Amino acid sequence: MTVILDECLPRRLKHDLVGHQVQTVPEAGLAGTKNGKLMAAIEGLCDCFLTIDAGIPYQQRLSARPFSVIVLHAPSNRYEDIFPLAQAINACLSEISAGEVRHIPDTH
């Protein structure tokens, strides 16, 4: 699966997503692109978008997008706070479908 990490996530996280092709928003050439334009720009570039921005599912119509979204819920966006979620992220990546939004941990 191809995954794009939102700019607000630590770049080191990509090494914890085993068996997936992972790049960051800046690596995709989209640094500084705002959410609405970013969602349109990543169509065709990834199977899943990974973010810590809990507002994205409410700001964007994601069910029609050809990629899935995983929203992480952690005390901060520091690697030390995100790393404990890596196992759950990998499990989710193995079963999530396009247009689907999942929350890790599942708070919804």
> Residue 62 has what pLDDT?
81
Give 107's pLDDT tier (boundaries 50, 70, 90). low
- Number of structural domains found in the chain: 1
Q: Where are the alpha helices (DSSP H) in the chain?
A: 35-41, 56-59, 79-82, 86-93
pLDDT tens by residue, 9-53 = 999 999 999 999 999 999 999 999 987 899 999 999 999 999 999
Q: Please report where in the chains the tokens 């997503």 appear, as a residue.
A: 17
Domain hosting 26: range is 2-104
Q: How far apart are CA 20 and CA 32, in angstroms?
A: 24
Q: Which of 104, 73, 80 is nearest to 13 (CA)?
A: 80
Question: pTM of the full predicted structure?
Answer: 0.93
What's the rounded mean pLDDT across residues 74-86?
Answer: 96
